A and B are shown apart, each in its own frame.
Chain A
Amino acid sequence: MKFRNRHSDLFTCEECIHLLLDYADGTMAPEVRRKLDEHLSACPPCQHYLRSYTSCTEMARQLRDQEAQVPAELQDRLKSFLREQVNLPWPKTPRRRRAKWSRRS
C-alpha cells in the first residue's frame, strides 16, 4: 500500500466545513488556507455553504449596539429603584474573582 501524502491531497467537503471558522475569521495558516481555497474553487456546494455561513456572521454583527425599547413604566421603576439603592452601602458579598479580560481595552 502506498503511503498517503496528506499534504498533496485535496481537502474533502467535511474537512473544509470543519475549518470554516478559522477561514471566515481570517485566523488560518496560509498553507491550510491555500488548500481550502483549492477545494472551494472546485466545489460549488462548499462555496454556497461558505457564503451563507459568513452571511450569518455578518447579519449577527448588525445586532451589535442596537437600542431596545424600554417602556416608560420600566424606566420609572428603574429610577426609583436606583434612588433607593445608590445610598445604601455596597453589599459585603465575597469578592468575585476578577475576569482576566476586564483588564483589556
Chain B
Amino acid sequence: MKAKPLEQGDLIEGLKSRDTKVIDSFVDQFSRPLFGVILNYTKNPSDAEEILQDTLLRVIRKIDTFRQQSDIWPWMKRIAVNNSIMWLRKHRRYTEIQLDDWMPRFREDGELAYPIFGWSGDPEEVYLNRELSSQLYEAIQSLPFQYRAPLVLRDIDGYPIRQIASLLGLKEATTKTRIHRARLFLREKLARYHSGRT
C-alpha cells in the first residue's frame, strides 16, 4: 500500500536530509505527473525514462534553492521541461519529414487552392475528440525536434514566446515561425485524418 501524500514542508525537509522514506514517497507522488510532462517532449521510452531519472535526482540536489513560500510543482515541472529540452538537444534523432507537403497551398491570386478539410470541434463528439486528441499527440511526436520543442513549450505548456526563444537559443521571429508551421502541419494532419484521406 502506498503512503499518504506528503505535505510540501515535510517533503522539502525530508529531501534536504536525504531521508530514504521521503525519497520513496517523492517518487510515488511525483514520478507520474513528471513523466506526463516529459512524454509530451518525447515519446521515446528510453529517452523519457532517462530524463525522468535525471529530473528526480536534480530536484533532490537542487532542493536547497527552492523558495518555500511558493507551490513546488511549477518549480519541479520547470526542471523537467529544461531537462527534456537539454537532453533532446543532445540526443537529437534525425526525423525524415517534409513539412512543406503539409502546408496550405494558394492560387496565384493568394486564394486558398483546394477545398479546406476541417472538423466541427463539437465538444459533444466525445469519441471523435478522444480519437483526434491521440492523433494530435502522435502528430506532435512525428515533428522534428526543432518544431516539436517550440510547439510543445507554447501550446501544451503555455510558455511565452520570449521564454521559448531564450530557452532554445532562437530569435523570437524564428520561434514564432516554427510554432506557426508546426500548427499548420498538425492542422493538416488532423484534417486529413478526419476526412479519411490518410
Q: Chain B binding site: helix, strand, loop or mixed by DSSP?
A: helix
Task: With CB as the reference atom, state the residue of chain A lying closest to B106.
Answer: A14
Query: A101 → chain B, closest Cβ, in Å?
Result: 4
Residues of A within 8 A of B32 (CB): 67-70
Known: A60-B155, A64-B158, A101-B166. A75 touches B27 (CB 8 A): yes
Q: Does B101 contact A (CB under 8 A)?
A: no
Residues of A within 8 A of B11 (CB): none
Known: A21-B180, A46-B112. A102 touches B136 (CB 8 A): no
Task: With CB as the reference atom, state the residue of chain B lying closest to A85.
Answer: B57
Interface code A59-82, partner B: CB below 8 Å = 1, 0 otherwise?
111111111111000110011011
- Given A13-B112, A62-B133, 12 new contacts (CB under 8 A): A20-B183, A45-B115, A52-B119, A55-B121, A61-B156, A63-B137, A68-B38, A75-B31, A78-B31, A78-B52, A102-B78, A104-B163
Q: Top 8 A-B pairs ranked by shortest CB distance?
A: A12-B110, A52-B118, A101-B163, A60-B155, A67-B32, A14-B110, A68-B35, A68-B36
Show 5 residue pairs from A and B whose CB-CB distance is below 8 angstroms, ordered by the A residue. A59-B132, A61-B155, A63-B133, A67-B36, A79-B24
Using CB atoms and an 8 Å cutoff, list the residues of chain A in contact with chain B: 12-15, 17, 20-22, 45-46, 48-49, 51-53, 55-70, 74-75, 78-79, 81-83, 85-87, 90, 99-102, 104-105
